[in-house]
Amino acid sequence: MCERLTPDEIFDVLGHRYRRYVVAELLERDETTVTELTEAVSRQTDADTTRVEVGLLHSHLPHLESACVVEYDADAGVVEPTTAVSDFEPFFEIIEE
């Protein structure tokens, strides 16, 4: 079980724009799919969906899972936020202002 994230861990997660978009999506949802996240990130970045999906599957979702931000079921393609996702809310409030 993971504890609250440290500031360094939070900044590490927020260090890549794909992860920022995923965290923003997860602040709004209880659960989502890789397909939905791929589409959301693609809209934000104008990147090719295949490229985004590969990045999410092979890099960013495993990174978020190891940081205890998400629970990722690769077989089902389901991504659920953990309670740690709430640690990011203040950062997104600042960004929105």
Q: Please indicate whether residue 94 or residue 72 has the higher confidence score (pLDDT).
A: 72
User: What's the confidence (pLDDT) of residue 93?
Assistant: 84
For the chain, what are the domain ranges?
A: 7-96
pLDDT digits (tens, 9 = 90+) for 5-32: 899 999 999 999 999 999 999 999 999 9
User: What's the confidence (pLDDT) of residue 1?
Assistant: 59
- State yes or no: pLDDT of 97 exceeds 60: no
**Mean pLDDT, the chain, integer:** 93
| Phi, psi for 56 (deg, rounded to 5) | -65, -50
**Cα(45)–Cα(90) distance, integer angstroms:** 23
H-helix or E-strand spanning residue 29 = none
CATH 1.10.10.10 is the classification of domain 7-96: yes
- State yes or no: pLDDT of 54 exceeds 80: yes
